[in-house]
Each structure stands twice: as structure tokens, then as C-alpha cells.
Structure 1
Amino acid sequence: MSAQDLKLQPKSKVTVTVSSRGFEFDYLDDHWQLDRNINLDTRFLDDFDDSCVDDIRETLVYFAENNSAPHTRNISDNLKLYLKESGATTFSELGLLTFKGRLAKNREYKLSVVRGFIRQMRYLSLDSSIEDSVYEVMDKWRLSGNDKGAAVLSLDPLTGPFSDIEFEAIASQSAHKYAEGKITSLQYALILLFKATGRRPEQIATLKVKDVVFSVKYTTKKIYVIKIPRIKQRRNKFRSTFKDFGLIDDAGKVITKHIKEHIVKVEQDLGRKLTRAQKNKLPLFIDSSCLQALIDTPKGMLTKVLDTELLHMTSNNMSSMLVKAVNKLKITSERTGERIHISPYRFRYTLGTRAARAGSGTLTIATLLDHGSTQNTGIYIENVPEFALEISKIMNQSLMVYASAFAGRVVKDEDEANKGNPKATRIPCHEKDCDIGSCGTNSFCTDYAPVACYLCPKFRPWSDAPHHLVLQWLMEEREHLKETLGDMTIVAINDRAIIAVCQVIKLCKEYNENA
């Protein structure tokens, strides 16, 4: 009997299981609630062939039970992409080769996710529908990882690290607005936490009152320490591991004031006093939509509910609250001439960038940003410290120059470029061993590619090409000229191209988001 047939039967406890975060779900339902943030739509599973659909569903259940909800959602998204791009309804050699052929090099990591899923099917003995040739083909592949650090490297004025002026404006304006009573203790505490720790929204959202302590553990003098839950460790349960982070005295006092006000408000809403243990277990930032449920919770069950993640904000709501708080500061970016664009990850990028510029190594930055390894911190060390100030100077040139630097048009990929200009010439960047776009004309050209291309109205950059590698190469060349010649007139010869590449990176991101 297939999963589709079982759906017609009355629900049984046999089909109910528990996610790694303790949420029950029926794996024959169309939606699986894996944690408070993620409700997984699994209707796509029915598009797989009857010969393998049950095995694929059971393998996805394994990931839901044993891995984080975001990881399970990522697998789900890439299985959907496999169905869409390959046109296959089973895991076959032809289907995987077709899927691989339709992915640009910088998107091959998506195939890696599917490959890992198929290997797990074999490990679980759920691969009876998969031919041995599929594994033989997959084992030969060396796939590229996903590109990391494009926003950091390009110092994108909307998504990359804040400039020094922007970052300092957030610090001073938030202090002034708080002193004037124009932002609350909650809002100021939130801004200070993101600004000081650079942590992900989910980590801030899972904080509880008891995580903020006044301690002498690390110094002879008492300091404020916040115990921040770790979230990107394999098979971690909710709030199972922590990393301590020291706070300056002023920030600790603001957060402590928020805690006092927070407890008073919750007790008023509940209409009763909380025990000391219950106060400690309150979310530092509670989901107000859950307050009624908390009010309705029997007194004897209150402590048990407070142990769970049910009353904590979702990551999206946490991000929205931060954006609203900083928007109240009404800060204008000197780089765009418009209201500063806010996202939680910009604080994270800024913390890593400033640490690198101060001379910190990859291990220090990994510790500062709570990475499990140094694998993803190299972007700060290898690229940003060396070039950050230079790119800032270039990007701070006239906004008119910035706006007019790139004159071409972003296209999805080479196929789209060929529709407008059959057999369009492919534009390579030999120095970084990558292709970055197509030429929109067949006319003879003697300009120096790819530098001149970014300034040419005929250029058709591909939206999924690694343009940040071109930026890295241009900045390396600029630094070389500075060291060998010292003549800034010559050093600045490619500055407009650098500005154009930065704009292409930004436009490609917007293109892919709207696709």
C-alpha cells in the first residue's frame, strides 16, 4: 500500500512522529510542523513515482527526526528543484545528469544536497528503486560548494557590512533616542544585542531571561555575560549548547532594565505572580501572540510550557522587530543617500569585517561569530581586511558615477543571452577560471575583457555567475599596482569597473530574488 493510499485511511498514531525539536507531526500529512519557525510543505513528494515515493518520504522523515528543521527544509527545497529541473520522477542516472547540466557551477551545491539524500537512502536500505549506476556516477563527481561572502566582499550598501559611519550612527542615534524616550528598553536592548554579538536572529530569539548573568567567571571584576544558544551544531536539541559572550556594562544595564519591565508586564497579563524559576525561564523576547495561550495554561503546567520554544518569537518576527527598531532611528546612509537598509545579518557581517580589519585571525573571528569551524570565516581575512577601506573609498565616489557605471542588462543565464543574440560570445575571467556573461553583439571588439565588459551597454552578465571573483581579482590587481607603482592615477584606472562589478552583484541578487 502506497503513502497515497494510506492518506485515505483514518489517521493512526503509527504515522505520527516527532521532529528533532520535539514537535509532533503526521508524516502522511501535507504539512509537517518541525519547529516554531518551519512548517514543511510535503505535497511535492506525491510527484515522485510510486516505485520510490514511500522510500523518499521515509528518508525525509529520518532527516526531520534527526536533523535541524532548516536542514530538512533545505533538503526538501532541493528535492523539489530536482523534480523541476530534471523532469524525472525517480532518482536515475539520466535524471541526475540532466539536473547537473541545468545547474551553473556556483549552484552545484544544490546537487550535493540531493546526492547526500540519495546516499542516506542507501544507508537506510531504502534504495531498492535506485540502480547501482546512479551511485557510480555520483561518486565520480567533484562538486563546487556554494559561493560565500559576495555581500561581504563587495561591501554591498544594502546587504553587506555597514560602513563605519553607518555603524557609528546606529550606536549614537539609538543611545540618543533611548535617552529621549523615543525607543523602548526592549527595542534598545534588541539593537544592542545584535550590534554587540553579531548573532543570528534564531539565536537571539531563543534567549531566556536566565541567560543574562552578572559574573566574575572570566574577570576579577563582575561583568555582564550572556549565554547564547548555539543553533548550527548537528543534531542539537532546543537550547542544548551555549557559548558565553561578554557585554559592556552599559549594554548589560539596558538589557537588565528590559528584563525587569518584561517580567512586570507578563505578570500583569497573567494576573498572577511568577516564581523565580518561572521568571528565569521566560523568553527574553516573548511572542506576544502566545500570551493568551500562556494565560490559559493551568498553573501546574506553566513551568513545563516555559521549558519549550512555544513562547519564543519566530526568527522572522525577531528580524522584523529589529528592522522596525532601527528604522525609528531615521538614519540616512552616506553611500546611497537614502534611509539605511537594515537586516540582522548586516550586523553579523560588520562584526566579522571590523574584527578582520583590527588584525584578528580566522580562529578568532570563528569564535566571535560562533562558527563551528573556520571554513566560512576566510572571506573576512582573505578579502575584506585587505580591500575594505579601498572599496569603501571607491564606492564613496559620486553617486552619479556609481549609478552610471554598469550600462548593460542582467540575464538569467547563457541560454537567455543566446535568445537575444544567437551564438553570443561567452565572456570569461581567465584569472579566476570562470565565465561571467555573454556579449550582446557579434561585432569585432578589441576592448580588454572582462574589465571593459562591465562598463559596456552590450554586456549581458549572467545572474548566477561568480561576479564576486572578478571583484576580488580587480582588487588584487589594484593592490599590486599600488605596491609597485604608487601612482594613484594609474592605480585608480579600473575603479569605474570595480563600481560596475559591485552594481552587477547587487542587480544579480535582486534578479534572482524576483525570479
Structure 2
Amino acid sequence: MLRPLAELDVQVAVRRSLDESGHLDRSVLEAFQDAVDRTVSKHIRPNYVGAFARMYLMSTDLGIEGFDDDVAAELDEMVIGNNPIGQAVLSNDPQSGPIPRREMDALLVKLKDATERRLIPTTHLAVTWLFICFGCNSKNLRLIHEGDCSVVDVPDGDPVYQVQVPRIKKRTRGERDQFRTRQVPAAVGAVLDQLVTDNRQQALYRDGIDRRRFDWPLFRTRWAREDLLDGAFDASAFRVEAFWPGMILKEVAELLDLRAADGSRLRLTPRRLRYTFAARLVADGAAPRDVADALDHSSLNYVMVYFNARLDAVEQIDKAVDSFLSPVADAFMGRIALDEVDAQGAGQPLRRISHVSPTMNAMRAVGSCGELGDCEKHAPTACYDCRVFIPFVDADHQAVLDDLLLQRERRLANGDDPRWTQINDRAIANAKAVIRRCAAIRNVGE
């Protein structure tokens, strides 16, 4: 099926794309499709195009020179004829498809904790958060400059953090001719501010380098790339290379000890985070045009794979909850105390967290809050998803879990929107994790 690659016009497209962009770009696929249209029966043409896409994805994953991850992501989102190309998305491939909800929840919990306590480098935090927030490609990220990050003061409100994200593959002359303005949460904005501050403390700011000569990317190398100096790409000499964002994500998975459901290291890549971003939009009820806009696609063809892959919402919830024995579900970040006295430690008073339900005869303490300030979240449900919650070893956490599961079953039985049943799913997973950890502590004591 790849024999049309040998056609003369396809070879011309290959040479032209390598000369102009350094990799096989979309024009090669278009030339390949034209060759297929001339030589292959209509009903099997999608199979040939599918073979091209699979070849491109395999070559990209193997790191072969001349294949680009951004083009691969676009190919994997395509649906051509009746033949779906996005097999990783459609099959929910555990290694290359969208990250399952419970694995993504564990990632978010650990990433938030690492952000609050700055447990990993600021660069790593910024890269991971931007992929999660925007669902962008690696090239989008590499083209962001320091000046693209800004803070907008809102009268009688909190400041709004914005990022001007360069658009790609829009057939413009320059790489930064078009932008989309995207907002980020305040915590992510603070990470970006810190990254800019860190950048400006590097030696390149103190060595008398002519700032007018170079672009100043948000993510950049410490030293200028010699292969780009004194040429057409001189201004981009401090821009990181194409493989760099993927390498950073791999390091994040190791630094945060992120695990897949089978206990192996979570495969964290720009493409998987983009798939996850789109899949969660669909799960939250977004329309195809909204998903296309969020992914910055000009056509709906590239996003329909996510709607074709959509599972029944109740099945998704069942999979998210049915994780009692899964190591990735152990995402609870707080410490566990033997009792209230142990929780207080040096004697600092803590706020008691109690629970009452039809299955209990009276209100009973299940833990303490590590902060004395007022909290507007609903206790104890929200507590199991909070880093400052300190559960007690001998408390009846099973009763809390039973209530959470009962609430979920009632919502489903009442015909409520399945998305409402997902509200407490992470609390359910964390309550199970607390039960496991408490049991382990009791077993050690015995």
C-alpha cells in the first residue's frame, strides 16, 4: 500500500518538504493521495491513506529523522472515508491513546502538589501545565515567547493570566503570524511568571548579547545553537529543538513517579495529552465545533474521531471507580494519623472533620483539617481530595465511601446527567486509597 510513494510527483513533494521544513509535511500526504486516486479503486483508497498515516506515526515514535510529531498528531486525528485513522484514540490504547481518567487524576493531584511546593523544576511544571491546559502541539509550545505571557487586571476581580499561543499549519509566511489568546489558571500563571524570572537570571542576559538580534522564547536553550547562527534562522538560535518538550514530559513522569494502571511507568507525551484534552472536552459535552476551536483545527474532520471513540458515560464512570486494586488510584496526598492527638503533633489545634450517615448511629470523627482557616468545600466529601486532610487510622472511612457510592447510584437511577455522577469520582478513589493505607498501617502495628 505504500508503493505510491515511489510515484514521481510524490518524490518531488518529499524532496521539497525536506528542503523547506526539514521533515515530511502535509504536502507529501496530499501528493500520496493524488497518486492513490490515479492508481487504486475508490473503495480501498482509505486503506492506502491509512497505511501512510500508520507508517508516519511509527516512524515518528521511533525517532527517525524527517518525521514530525506535530504532523503525526494531525494524521492520528484524521478520519478518511470509512476508515478511521485515529486507532490510538478509537481503541483507547493504554500506551498511546488518551490517558484514562484515574491515571489523569493521579497526574493532576501530584502535579498540583509539586506546583504548590515546587518539587520539580519550574520549566517542567510550565511545560506540563501548558500541554494540559491547551492540548497544543510541541511546535506551539516551542514558538511561545516571553512576551506572549501577560496579566490582565480586572476591576473588582482577580487578575487574569493569558498566553498568546502561536498558530501552526495555517499556510502563513511566518511561524508567528497568527495567535490564539488562551487563559490559564492563576497557579499556572504564577509558574510562567517564575519561569520568565528564572530565564532572565541566566548568563545570556549578563554577557552583553544583542537582544535585538535574537528571539527570546519562553522555553529556550542556555547556549545558542551553532547550527542556526549566522543564517536564515539566526533569530531562533535559542529556541529548543523539536524533541525537547517530549523529553521534558518523560522526565516529569519519572520525577512524579506516575504510574499506569498496570503499575508500569505512565507514558506521558505531547500527543497523548492532546488526545486527553480533546477526549475530556467530548466527555464534558462539547460540540464538534467547540472541540475543533479548542484544538485550533479549521475543519471538523479532524475532531470527529473523538466523538466516534466516545464511550457511554456510565461505562467511563464505572471504569474510573472500579480501581480498588489499581496502584494508580492511590493518589491521596495527605498524611494519615493514628488519632486526633497524633494529628495535632506539636499541640497545634486542628479542625475536626466528622461524618454522619444513615448507616451510622452518630456523628463520628474521620480526621482533622491541617488548616484552621474557613473552608467552603463540602466536608467530608471534598476532604478526601485535599492535601491538608489528615485521616485517622481507625475511623470508619468505609461508611464515607458507602455514602459516596450510594449518592452516585441514586443520581444514575434518577436519570441525572451522567456527568454529575463524576463529581465525586476522585473522592471515591481517594477514599479507597485511604482505606487501603489505613489497613496497611494497622497490619504493621499488629
What is the TM-score when the length of structure 2 is the normalising length?
Answer: 0.55
Amino acid of the residue matched to residue 287 of structure 1?
A: T
Are 1:323 and 1:343, in contact at CA under 8 Å, matched by a contact in 2?
A: yes
Q: Could you say what secondary structure the match of 2:247 adopts?
A: helix
Please point out which of 130, 148, 171 is paired with 1:234. 171
Cα distance between partner residues in 1 of 2:279 and 2:155: 25
Change (3 A) 1:67 1:282: closer
* 1:288 Cα deviation from its structure 2 partner: 4.4
Answering whether residue 315 of structure 2 is matched by residue 390 of structure 1, we say yes
Cα distance between partner residues in 2 of 1:327 and 1:320: 11
Please point out which of 364, 367, 372 is paired with 2:293. 367
* 1:266 Cα deviation from its structure 2 partner: 4.3
Output one character per residue of 1:294-333: Cα deviation in whole Å (capped at 9) or x when no partner.
Answer: 9x87xxx99x933xx3432222222112221232100222
Are 1:208 and 1:284, in contact at CA under 8 Å, matched by a contact in 2?
A: yes
Amino acid of the residue matched to residue 174 of structure 1?
A: L
Cα distance between partner residues in 2 of 1:224 and 1:376: 29
Cα distance between partner residues in 2 of 1:341 and 1:383: 20
Any unmatched runs of 5+ in structure 2? 54-79, 326-411, 414-446
Paired-residue identity, %: 19
Amino acid of the residue matched to residue 172 of structure 1?
A: V
Please point out which of 134, 143, 162 is paired with 2:99. 162
Answering whether residue 136 of structure 2 is matched by residue 199 of structure 1, we say yes
* 1:274 Cα deviation from its structure 2 partner: 6.3
Q: Could you say what secondary structure the match of 1:156 adopts?
A: coil
Q: Aligned runs of 1:280-291 on 2, under 5 Å?
A: 281-288=215-222, 290=224
Change (3 A) 1:181 1:285: same
Are 2:161 and 2:186, in contact at CA under 8 Å, matched by a contact in 1?
A: yes
Output one character per residue of 1:428-458: Cα deviation in whole Å (capped at 9) or x when no partner.
Answer: xxxxxxxxxxxxxxxxxxxxxxxxxxxxxxx
Change (3 A) 1:146 1:235: farther
Match of 2:248 in 1: 321
Please point out which of 48, 51, 71 is paired with 2:25. 71
Are 1:174 and 1:329, in contact at CA under 8 Å, matched by a contact in 2?
A: yes
Any unmatched runs of 5+ in structure 1? 1-43, 83-90, 113-142, 401-481, 484-515
Match of 1:208 in 2: 145
Q: Aligned runs of 1:468-483 on 2, under 5 Å?
A: none
Cα distance between partner residues in 2 of 1:346 and 1:252: 23
Are 1:108 and 1:145, in contact at CA under 8 Å, matched by a contact in 2?
A: no
Q: Could you say what secondary structure the match of 2:150 adopts?
A: strand
Are 2:278 and 2:295, in contact at CA under 8 Å, matched by a contact in 1?
A: yes
Cα distance between partner residues in 2 of 1:146 and 1:68: 29
Match of 1:106 in 2: 47
Cα distance between partner residues in 1 of 2:313 and 2:221: 38
Amino acid of the residue matched to residue 390 of structure 1?
A: E
Cα distance between partner residues in 2 of 1:387 and 1:353: 13
Q: Could you say what secondary structure the match of 2:217 adopts?
A: coil
Are 1:67 and 1:235, in contact at CA under 8 Å, matched by a contact in 2?
A: no
Are 2:129 and 2:188, in contact at CA under 8 Å, matched by a contact in 1?
A: yes
Change (3 A) 1:161 1:59: closer
Q: Could you say what secondary structure the match of 1:375 adopts?
A: helix
Amino acid of the residue matched to residue 321 of structure 1?
A: I
Cα distance between partner residues in 2 of 1:314 and 1:218: 40
* 1:263 Cα deviation from its structure 2 partner: 1.9
Cα distance between partner residues in 1 of 2:123 and 2:279: 27
Are 1:336 and 1:399, in contact at CA under 8 Å, matched by a contact in 2?
A: no
Output one character per residue of 1:396-453: Cα deviation in whole Å (capped at 9) or x when no partner.
Answer: 87999xxxxxxxxxxxxxxxxxxxxxxxxxxxxxxxxxxxxxxxxxxxxxxxxxxxxx
Amino acid of the residue matched to residue 106 of structure 1?
A: N
Amino acid of the residue matched to residue 219 of structure 2?
A: F
Are 2:110 and 2:256, in contact at CA under 8 Å, matched by a contact in 1?
A: yes
Q: Aligned runs of 1:258-277 on 2, under 5 Å?
A: 258-267=195-204, 271-272=207-208
Change (3 A) 1:162 1:230: same
Cα distance between partner residues in 1 of 2:160 and 2:177: 24
Q: Could you say what secondary structure the match of 2:266 adopts?
A: coil
Please point out which of 288, 298, 304 is paired with 1:378. 304
Cα distance between partner residues in 2 of 1:101 and 1:215: 54
Q: Aligned runs of 1:484-503 on 2, under 5 Å?
A: none
* 1:67 Cα deviation from its structure 2 partner: 8.4
* 1:261 Cα deviation from its structure 2 partner: 0.3
The number of aligned residues is 298
Cα distance between partner residues in 2 of 1:338 and 1:278: 46
Are 2:90 and 2:308, in contact at CA under 8 Å, matched by a contact in 1?
A: no
Q: Aligned runs of 1:405-420 on 2, under 5 Å?
A: none
Cα distance between partner residues in 2 of 1:278 and 1:108: 43
Output one character per residue of 1:64-106: Cα deviation in whole Å (capped at 9) or x when no partner.
Answer: 7888954267449959xx8xxxxxxxx997xx35xx6997843
Name the Cα RMSD after superposition: 4.4
Change (3 A) 1:399 1:367: same
Q: Aligned runs of 1:42-441 on 2, under 5 Å?
A: 69-71=23-25, 74-75=28-29, 78=32, 96-97=39-40, 105-108=46-49, 144=81, 147-215=84-152, 222-267=159-204, 271-272=207-208, 281-288=215-222, 290=224, 305-306=234-235, 309-333=236-260, 335-384=261-310, 386-387=311-312, 389-390=314-315, 393=318
Cα distance between partner residues in 1 of 2:243 and 2:106: 25
Change (3 A) 1:293 1:70: closer
Change (3 A) 1:327 1:274: farther
Change (3 A) 1:191 1:374: same
Amino acid of the residue matched to residue 164 of structure 1?
A: R
